[in-house]
Amino acid sequence: MRLVEPANAAMLTDLYELTMAASYFGRAMNELATFELFIRSLPAERNFLVAAGLEDALDYLESFHFSEDGLGYLSTLGLFDEAFLGYLRDFRFTGDVWAMAEGEAVFPQEPLLRVTAPLIEAQFVETFLLNCISYQTMVTSKAARISIACEGRAFVDFSPRRDHGADAALKAARASFIGGADATSNVLAGQLFGIPVSGTMAHSYVMSFEREIDAFQQYAADFPGQATLLLDTYDTIAGAQNAVVVGRELAANGETLHGVRLDSGDMDALSREVRAMLDAAGLRDTEIFASGDLDEHRIRALLSAGAPIDAFGVGTQLGTSADAPALGAVYKLVENTSGPRMKRSTGKATLPGTKQVYRVERGGTFEHDTIALAEEPAMEGRPLLEPVMRGGRRTGPSPLLRAVRDRAAVSVRSLPAHLRALDGPRTPYPVGISAGIQALIQGGAHG
Amino acid sequence: MRLVEPANAAMLTDLYELTMAASYFGRAMNELATFELFIRSLPAERNFLVAAGLEDALDYLESFHFSEDGLGYLSTLGLFDEAFLGYLRDFRFTGDVWAMAEGEAVFPQEPLLRVTAPLIEAQFVETFLLNCISYQTMVTSKAARISIACEGRAFVDFSPRRDHGADAALKAARASFIGGADATSNVLAGQLFGIPVSGTMAHSYVMSFEREIDAFQQYAADFPGQATLLLDTYDTIAGAQNAVVVGRELAANGETLHGVRLDSGDMDALSREVRAMLDAAGLRDTEIFASGDLDEHRIRALLSAGAPIDAFGVGTQLGTSADAPALGAVYKLVENTSGPRMKRSTGKATLPGTKQVYRVERGGTFEHDTIALAEEPAMEGRPLLEPVMRGGRRTGPSPLLRAVRDRAAVSVRSLPAHLRALDGPRTPYPVGISAGIQALIQGGAHG
């Protein structure tokens, strides 16, 4: 089951990808070309990024194709001749892809993905690849920051209502999980990706009963051991008193009130007061869950102050990466049969040549990376780009999502400590450029 | 053709919508309830919003249903009994919906959408409705600001690569068009919505030819009268010289070079220099198109300075509404068979009762709105909420997208001038609360 069907995915492209393709096709310009996808620079609020989105990218590359509907629409534009439309009918991606694994820490200028394919194919896939990789990398990176702030406490993706459409809600759940979220409220993401799902209750549930305590009792009865009661519909402390009553009733029957949720007000003060009330009633196992406009900074402030909060729900700030809602990801031609290529636009120049990235680690900490030409002798360190697709087919099975999440955790833990700080700017992570690339730049790689 | 299938849409919900539904179902709590969707407050960077997303909301309400796959997954969660899962098998939306038309200016606290349905249905649809309406309202509102800045010049949605996933790219194109964009680069949006598509060329196209002028000549030959040449792959002024050569060649054959595109550097200075070069060569009809990190503020600055730019491509800032990437939209129970309901949470209280919004206009300018109870005698002004769905079916055909776009243009033009200013904060638009609602609040509507 897919959210975006392959025939829709083919059409989800900038018009210029098709006009350029038609132009190449018309003059039989279709020799091998290599494009690389990378992030130009870090948003001011980020010290590192964590790669994500590769799985969707590979799904797309393996499956996109044009339907007759799509071709019929293209023929109405007056831009494409029958020969080109006939070519698109059988158009498939047949190229090779090297990529960083999902969950790997990544820095500006480092290729996340390298596509080598006949020019028309390699160019055409630009729009979709940028769309799916940059958003997911952004959300995984944000989740990693939230995970750092949580210091081992759980957090849950609560973003579906704030994400930018349905596909974003799915991708946000998966990317958040990779970055360290423990669960999502998104049921479809649970179904498609096997991510644990969790949730509490809405204010409207409480308001649908004559008295708050009725709502609490019924919900606790319906979901024994799993109910988290929302306290602030009318007044958080009065709500906590009702929760205590319900918690004691459950305890008398040998059951546990799983948790209570704070969703407004002074979370620090309220969490202390509610914790004291729960503890005084012997409800030490009942957790306090907090939600409502949270981000890594607020979570850190609450935990630093000692607020007794056990878990967090994060919505808007996670799913929209609201403090850095876009990454400057680009997809650039770096080599073709005439040799390495280089764009020289003011402030937007690119590094020429087909590349590899090497990461040097000392004592479990990343020390520096080197961006080098793939053809240069191997540099010191672990090569980060691996072959993931040959001839349009995956080279192997996809890693399990849990393994990707573990990789992200290791990767973030291996960053120099100052980069894991939540406030910036910091001394950037050292990323060197190899002698081979520098020689190409100075030698004037075309143009 | 849909991007999100109805069975996926049903599952794209927060888990708590389903646990609450199960709880209501278990105790046969399914009397009529009314929920309203509204924006809590304006982002600091916005003086007004323009409603959008209703079409998707109605599509969803008419079509969502659970598939056996989905039900099978839900049964694995250990939260739902067979009776409830059997109920979900035939679960459909059967309620009534009143809504503001897409393209209508809307202000905080004003319901954009009002759902009256059996409680389980009315509650369940919360997550999806918030997801699809708040994102599209946000992008249409951003597009309206960009349209104001463009002062009649065209702008194009260039956002697909920056949008948060595939669905966002589609919704961004449609919402931008409603807000005033003239076209989109998104081919799928062209196919599905009939929005004009447009595009230029990428740097990689230029780099795929030995010389820049070769690329320009070939592209102009392939798309006569429609080619826009990208000038900055190597050097904008040298690129403009090449474009002039191509433009003269075309002119000699009675053809026209449609345009040139600036994508980096000092747009003001470059546009003047390039305009002068084009004019000196007699290429007065060749347009200058600008793109690259543009938003309403940069566009206004360029046009105020007198930069001779004819049209703009806007990507990131449009599709992600980067300066305000989320709206605080909520969906709240306002009335049930026990009467009007009201949430009292600190800082998040809601207005009780089923509502209507009236807008008073004088001399073509919106003067003030009043939020009133639907049952109160009609207030002065035009009622903004109209019945759009009865018994789960649309009350009539959908308006044409062009008509929605026209409505948005009229609506924005009718705003008080100070609200159309791009910088804030301004005196807010006056939105009054009726005596009927105030009486409910003071009388202590439940809770």
How far B360 CA sits from the closest chain A CA (Å)? 31
Domain boundaries, chain B: 6-139+324-443, 140-319
Cβ–Cβ under 8 Å, residues A352 and A342: yes
Residue with tokens 């280089």: A342
What is the rounded CA–CA span in Å between residue A207 and residue A228?
16
> Does the CB of B226 have a partner CB in chain A at under 8 Å?
yes
Residue B239: enclosing H or E segment and its boundaries?
A: helix B236-252
Q: Which residues contact A316 (CB under 8 A, 6 or more apart)?
A: A159, A162, A293, A322, B326
Q: Which chain B residues in 385-444 lie under 8 Å from chain A, judged by CB atoms?
A: none
CB nearest to B12's CB, from A9, A158, A186:
A186
What is the rounded CA–CA span in Å between residue A57 and residue A61?
6
Q: What is the pLDDT of residues B332-364, one digit of tens each?
A: 999 999 999 887 777 777 899 999 999 999 999
Picking from A145, A143, A116, A140, the residue whose alpha carbon sits closest to that of residue A37 is: A116
What is the rounded CA–CA span in Å between residue A106 and residue A112?
8
Chain A nearest-CA residue for B318: A326
Hey, how many other C-beta atoms are within 10 angstroms of the C-beta on A181? 32
- Chain A residues touching B170 at Cβ < 8 A: 12, 165
> Does the CB of A336 have a partner CB in chain B at under 8 Å?
yes
**Mutate which: B75, B121, B187, B262, vs A, most A CBs within 10 A:** B187
CB nearest to A345's CB, from B77, B168, B263:
B263
Q: Which chain A residues in 187-206 lie under 8 Å from chain B, judged by CB atoms?
A: 187-188, 190-191, 197-205
Q: Which chain B residues in 99-128 lie under 8 Å from chain A, judged by CB atoms?
A: 119, 123, 126-128
Q: What is the pLDDT of residues A278-319, one digit of tens each?
A: 999 999 999 999 999 999 999 999 999 999 999 999 999 999
Backbone phi and psi for residue B311, each to the nearest 5 degrees, phi listed first: -160, 160
3-state secondary structure of B190: helix
| CA–centroid distance for B45 within its chain | 16
> Does the CB of B41 have a partner CB in chain A at under 8 Å?
no
Please name the fold of domain A200-290. Answer: TIM Barrel (3.20.20)
The superfamily (CATH) of domain B140-319 is Aldolase class I (3.20.20.70)
Cβ–Cβ under 8 Å, residues A317 and A9: no
Residue with tokens 């878990």: A311
Query: Please, which residues bridge with residue B321 across strands?
Result: none
> Does the CB of B157 have a partner CB in chain A at under 8 Å?
no
CA torsion through residues A106, A110, A116, A119, sign = positive
- For residue B24, CA distances in Å to A363, B20, B120 come to 56, 6, 7
**Burial class of B241 by CB neighbour count within 10 A (0 to 12, 13 to 18, 19+):** middle
- Chain B residues touching A326 at Cβ < 8 A: 162, 316, 320, 322
Tokens linked to A276: 């004291």
Cβ–Cβ under 8 Å, residues B146 and B179: yes
CA torsion through residues A161, A166, A170, A176, sign = negative
Q: Which residues in chain A land under pLDDT 50? A: none
Picking from B122, B144, B140, B120, the residue whose alpha carbon sits closest to that of residue B132 is: B140
Query: Please, which residues bridge with residue A311 across strands?
Result: A154, A289
Query: Please, which residues bridge with residue B227 across strands?
Result: none
Q: Which chain B residues in 159-188 lie under 8 Å from chain A, judged by CB atoms?
A: 160-172, 185-188
What is the rounded CA–CA span in Å between residue A405 and residue B365?
55
Strands B287-290 and B259-262, how do they pair? parallel
Rg (CA), chain B: 25
- Chain B residues touching A201 at Cβ < 8 A: 16, 19-20
Hey, how many other C-beta atoms are within 10 angstroms of the C-beta on B424? 15
How far B159 CA sits from the closest chain A CA (Å)? 9
Which 3-state string (H, E, C) describes chain A?
Answer: CCCCCHHHHHHCCEHHHHHHHHHHHHCCCCCEEEEEEEECCCCCCCCCEECCCHHHHHHHHHHCCCCHHHHHHHHCCCCCCHHHHHHHHCCCCCCEEEECCCCCEECCCCCCEEEEEEHHHHHHCHHHHHHHHHHHHHHHHHHHHHHHHHCCCEEEECCCCCCCCHHHHHHHHHHHHHHCCCEECEHHHHHHHCCCECCCCCHHHHHCCCCHHHHHHHHHHHCCCCCEEECCCCCHHHHHHHHHHHHHHHHHCCCCCCEEEECCCCHHHHHHHHHHHHHHCCCCCCEEEECCCCCHHHHHHHHHCCCCCCEEEECHHHHCCCCCCCCCEEEEEEEECCEEECCCCCCCCCCCCCEEEEEEEECCEEEEEEEEECCCCCCCCEECCEEEEECCEECCCCCCHHHHHHHHHHHHHCCCHHHHCCCCCCCCCCEEECHHHHHHHHHCCEC
Cβ contact A16–B201 (<8 Å): yes
Query: Please, which residues bridge with residue B389 across strands?
Result: B97, B394
The chain-wide mean pLDDT, for chain B, equals: 96
Phi-psi region of B353 (alpha: psi -120 to 50; beta: other; left: phi over 0): left
Query: Please, which residues bridge with residue B50 across strands?
Result: B105
CA torsion through residues B289, B290, B292, B297, sign = negative
The superfamily (CATH) of domain B6-139+324-443 is nicotinate phosphoribosyltransferase (3.20.140.10)
Cβ contact A13–B264 (<8 Å): no
Picking from B312, B275, B395, B366, the residue whose alpha carbon sits closest to that of residue B145 is: B312
Query: Please, which residues bridge with residue B113 across strands?
Result: B37, B99
Give pairs for B300-304: CB < 8 Å, separation 24+: B300/B149, B300/B422, B302/B267, B302/B268, B302/B271, B303/B149, B303/B150, B303/B151, B303/B153
Q: What is the pTM of this model?
A: 0.97
Residue with tokens 């009054």: B432
- For residue A249, CA distances in Å to A123, A225, A255 come to 65, 13, 8
Q: Which residues contact B276 (CB under 8 A, 6 or more apart)?
A: none
Q: Which residues contact A330 (CB under 8 A, 6 or more apart)?
A: A37, A38, A39, A40, A130, A350
Q: How many Cβ pairs within 8 Å bridge chains A and B?
A: 344
Chain B nearest-CA residue for A24: B205
- For residue A94, CA distances in Å to A23, A354, A385 come to 20, 18, 19
What is the rounded CA–CA span in Å between residue B140 and residue B401?
13
- Chain A residues touching B258 at Cβ < 8 A: none
What is the mean pLDDT for each group of 10 consecutive residues in chain B (447 residues)? 86 98 97 97 95 97 97 97 98 98 98 98 98 98 98 98 97 98 98 96 94 97 95 96 98 96 97 98 98 97 98 98 95 94 78 97 97 96 98 97 98 96 86 96 72
Cβ contact A123–B15 (<8 Å): no
What is the rounded CA–CA span in Å between residue A30 and residue A14?
20
Strands B259-262 and B228-230, how do they pair? parallel
- Chain B residues touching A52 at Cβ < 8 A: none
Cβ contact A346–B204 (<8 Å): no
CB nearest to A208's CB, from B161, B321, B336:
B336
CB nearest to B338's CB, from A20, A210, A236:
A210
Tokens linked to A40: 């130009």
Q: Which chain A residues in 61-90 lie under 8 Å from chain B, judged by CB atoms?
A: 69-70, 73-74, 77, 79
- For residue A297, CA distances in Å to A34, A48, A302, A309 come to 40, 16, 9, 15
First-residue to last-residue Cα distance in chain A = 45
Rg (CA), chain A: 25
**Mutate which: B5, B13, B167, B235, vs A, most A CBs within 10 A:** B167
What is the rounded CA–CA span in Å between residue B120 and residue B124?
6
Cβ contact A185–B14 (<8 Å): yes
Chain B nearest-CA residue for A319: B164
How far B148 CA sits from the closest chain A CA (Å)? 23
What is the rounded CA–CA span in Å between residue A19 and residue A74?
11
Cβ–Cβ under 8 Å, residues A137 and A53: yes
Residue with tokens 């250990």: B78
CB nearest to A344's CB, from B131, B234, B341:
B234
